[in-house]
Structure 1
Amino acid sequence: MKKQAMLHRIRCFPESRRRRSGQVLLIGTVAGTMLFGMVGLGLDVGYVYYQKRKVQSAADAAAIAAILEMSRSPAGNYVQAGRDDAKLNGFENGVGGVTTDLTTPPAGGPHAGNPQYVEAVVTKDVKTYFLGLLNLSAMRVTAKAEARLGPGTSCVYLMDPSQEDQFRVAGTFSATCGLMANSNSSKALDLNSGSATASGFYTNGRYVGSFNPTPLINQPRVPDPLAYLQPPTFPAANYYGVNVTDSTPLNPGVYHGGIPVAAGVRANFNPGIYVLNGGGLVTSGGPTSFLSGIGVSFYFTARQPVPSPPTGFNTSIVNTPGRFLLNGEGGFDLRAPTTGEMAGILFFQDRNPANQAGPFDVQGTNTTRIEGVVYIPGSDFLYQNQTGNTAEYTIIVSKSLRLDGSSPNLVIRNDYSSLANGSPLRAVPVLTR
């Protein structure tokens, strides 16, 4: 009897092990399936989120392109302009589950019915991979953007359409506003070394380096935001062949032959408009060299009439376009007028290419304060100063901006509270979303 019971127990052992093995296999299968599903869900959700960001960039670009088309021609096809730029960002209307719709005024939201705004809506059906096992083969992603024309959030506009290294940094760049580069180059923005921080970086092309934040690429080009500016009224006073060799204050007027400043001299400018007819504004450097002027504006031109030139004055000097050059170890504190026809305008370059020279070059190791607009759309802007920029606001419109040399440091702010009419920027596209 005992022997039979023992044999029964022995026969039960394999049967029990088989039951336990089956349970383990079942649990393992269920756990593996759940783990696979969780990993798959994470991958699909991550991919959809990635596509969402791309769709948002396309919607932003479409809204900007549409409002620009409307500003150029009220009868223009703003819908097609928006769809073209969404396509440049990888989302073509009617292809691959993409729809791009543009309307003005917006039908809903805080700007509903306002004809100053255009709304872009980009939708894409994003294919899933693992979620397809749960009969969810695609997820719809939608992004909206609204745009209008206004002062804008950028304060640096680089206008050349194809220049490589249009914005190049080999030092430190920091701005409380944005930067727009119109170049379509694959290296329109080049962070050679150092750091570059702003509220946003935008380019018609692409970039190299780690910007903060990451630049938006393939953005529509922005037209000249200061195209409305007119050359200043020329002052009545005329000066011929001036050479600044001491600190005697200079007065507003037309300076035929420009204003060269001798080495080590502190040049002081009384408030007003200074027209530089050839020659430009050039310092010869030195640690004590400094330019100082509050409420001043400089117009760089050439080939203007020379009334009643004094005996011995070589009038051909006005045929040589001038530029701004702060040489060597100097510095400057120049601030634009806060009222009047040149309110906010510090440097204004003649738009006629024959009257332009460049680059405008800021060197030096002393303090700099560039308070106002540097409007030089036909010239490059080279900044090599190491001390930053203490101005409350600075706006740059140039062909390019390059921070080169030994540890250059440029700080740009956008506090326009000192200007009676606010920012001089008038008609640039502004995203409102």
Structure 2
Amino acid sequence: MFGDSSGSVAIIFGLLLPCLLGFAALAIEVGYWYSEKNKLQIAADTAAYSALVAYGIDADLDKAIAVGIAQARASGFSGSSDQIEILIPSQDEALGPNSSRANLSVNTKLFLSSLFLDTGTVDIGVNAFASMDEVLEALPCMLALKPNQSRSIVLAASVQANMDCVVATNSASNDAIWAEGSASLTATCARTPGTIGTNGGAWVNLTECEDGHDRETSTDPMASTPFWGSSAIPDTGFFVDQSISQGRYGAGMPGGNILKPGKYGKQVEIDGTVTLLPGIYYFTAGFRAAPGSRIIGDGVTIYLDQSKVLDIAQNVAWDLKAPTSGPSQGMAIMGDPSKSGGSVRLIGVLGNVEGGIYFPNQTLLTESGPNLASARCTRIVASTIDIRGSGTINNDCSSTTSGRGGGAGRVRLAKGSA
């Protein structure tokens, strides 16, 4: 009778069931903690990364920290302001000064484990690190490509060129960059395997170059830009000006004062103020602008056959911006790269045309023109560059990759010390 144990299993199971359920519930709760920590880590990664990107743009620490906090909250962080800390630099010696650190913590509510712990919450904390790779080479705003060319960049007469950017030439000549007369060049730095020379009262001032100038060559940053007729920008037999009797544009002119994108079969002559609607233009028969004309356009690329007439007269006011997207992104004015020799004359473009001007096999001739109230960033790449005349040229690339520092470097998440 006392040896009957047929009900013992049920009794033992009944006694152990609360423990088994407790362990199961505790396992689920621990999984919840890990899930919350993973979410917090994502917010920390976002905060460290976005803060360093923002800091790389203008070195504004308060703004960068605000950006990092805002992006952390956008990623799901809901803690109080004293539960997030962003440090720039990260104070991690292995990462150096170009780094950031984000420390985040939250109070996570306890459920079953609160029965065993004398608290209703537990603190979960994470950190994340980001580092910025150094930009080794700034993108020039003015580059003369022809090697071993004497005076590949010339400033003459009394022109005063203020270039908030790097000026470069690939010439190894002992007068690769040359200023004469009473001309002057102020730039953040110069890059050339050759030397800089002056005569008369001319002078060159490099504001951020150490040890003279950078004795290096530069790669052509526009070499891969597609031209009209490429697969990216197919040619067409249709001319948008086929119904216009003359190729003259301006108020009261046969073509009117509004130009539409497309291919032009007649020489385009600007006389007065014209507006170019956004898009890509191909002037196959030449391009001229009379004195006192004004050329306006936003999101515009002008392609040219530079073997035809290309003559922009004195006192032409430019107010032109290149497209910020699409196949010709960043390019404002470009000649056919398959054509060699000769020169092109574009007066007044520096500081007034935002974007690239590309004539890799021609000499580009320019002078000062009517200046906009705020200088823009014009990037010229040509075989050689000749700047003459009188007046002042202001070209400001300080906020782009044409600046001395090359803009912000590549930011990446990194591991550091806790």
Band the TM-score falls in, shorter-chain normalisation:
0.5 to 0.7
Q: Which residue of 2 aligns with 1:300?
A: 304
Q: Which residue of 1 aligns with 2:227?
A: 231
Matched, 1:269 2:273: no
Aligned-partner Cα distance in 1 for 2:304–2:402: 19
Q: 1:212 to 1:431 in 2, by over 3 A?
A: farther
SS in 2 for 1:359: strand
**Following TM superposition, by how much is the alpha carbon of 1:251 offset from its aligned partner in structure 2, in angstroms?**
0.5
Aligned-partner Cα distance in 1 for 2:169–2:392: 20
Q: Which residue of 1 aligns with 2:205?
A: 212
Matched, 1:393 2:377: yes
Q: 1:109 to 1:168 in 2, by over 3 A?
A: farther
Q: Which residue of 2 aligns with 1:316?
A: none
Q: Which residue of 2 aligns with 1:336?
A: 322
Aligned-partner Cα distance in 1 for 2:358–2:370: 22
Aligned-partner Cα distance in 1 for 2:188–2:299: 28
SS in 2 for 1:339: coil
**Following TM superposition, by how much is the alpha carbon of 1:349 offset from its aligned partner in structure 2, in angstroms?**
1.4
- Structure 2: give runs of 5+ residues left out of the alignment: 1-93, 98-132, 411-418
Deviations 1:17-50 (A, max 9, x none): xxxxxxxxxxxxxxxxxxxxxxxxxxxxxxxxxx
Matched, 1:284 2:290: yes
Contact 1:173 1:197 in 2 (8 A): yes
SS in 2 for 1:212: strand
Q: Which residue of 1 aligns with 2:366?
A: 383
Q: Which residue of 2 aligns with 1:358?
A: 343
Q: Which residue of 1 aligns with 2:269?
A: 260
Deviations 1:308-354 (A, max 9, x none): xxxxxxxxxxxxx2354221333221111122221211011111125
Q: Which amino acid aligns with 2:336?
A: D
SS in 1 for 2:328: coil
Q: 1:296 to 1:363 in 2, by over 3 A?
A: closer
Q: 1:148 to 1:368 in 2, by over 3 A?
A: closer
Aligned-partner Cα distance in 2 for 1:424–1:348: 19
Q: Which amino acid aligns with 2:304?
A: F
Q: Which amino acid aligns with 1:251?
A: K
Q: 1:396 to 1:415 in 2, by over 3 A?
A: same
Q: Which residue of 1 aligns with 2:187?
A: 198
Aligned-partner Cα distance in 1 for 2:305–2:364: 17
Aligned-partner Cα distance in 1 for 2:317–2:160: 18
Root-mean-square deviation (CA, aligned residues, Å) is 3.6
Aligned-residue sequence identity (percent) comes to: 21
Q: Pairwise mapping of residues 90-101 of structure 1 onto structure 2 (< 5 A)?
A: none
Task: State the TM-score, normalized to the length of structure 1.
Answer: 0.52
Matched, 1:244 2:261: no
- Structure 1: give runs of 5+ residues left out of the alignment: 1-107, 112-145, 303-320, 417-421
Aligned-partner Cα distance in 2 for 1:270–1:326: 20
Contact 1:234 1:275 in 2 (8 A): no
Aligned-partner Cα distance in 1 for 2:311–2:352: 15
Q: 1:415 to 1:340 in 2, by over 3 A?
A: farther
Aligned-partner Cα distance in 2 for 1:415–1:148: 15
Contact 1:235 1:252 in 2 (8 A): no
Contact 2:184 2:204 in 1 (8 A): yes
Q: Which residue of 1 aligns with 2:109?
A: none
Q: Which residue of 1 aligns with 2:44?
A: none
SS in 2 for 1:274: strand
SS in 2 for 1:165: coil
SS in 2 for 1:211: strand
SS in 2 for 1:353: coil
SS in 1 for 2:141: strand
Q: Which residue of 1 aligns with 2:12?
A: none
SS in 2 for 1:176: strand
Aligned-partner Cα distance in 2 for 1:205–1:388: 32
Deviations 1:148-183 (A, max 9, x none): 666x24221111112222222231111221111111
Question: Using CA pairs below 8 Å that are at least 6 residues apart, which structure has the higher relative contact order?
Answer: 2
Deviations 1:217-246 (A, max 9, x none): 682322212222122414754134751243
Aligned-partner Cα distance in 1 for 2:235–2:136: 34
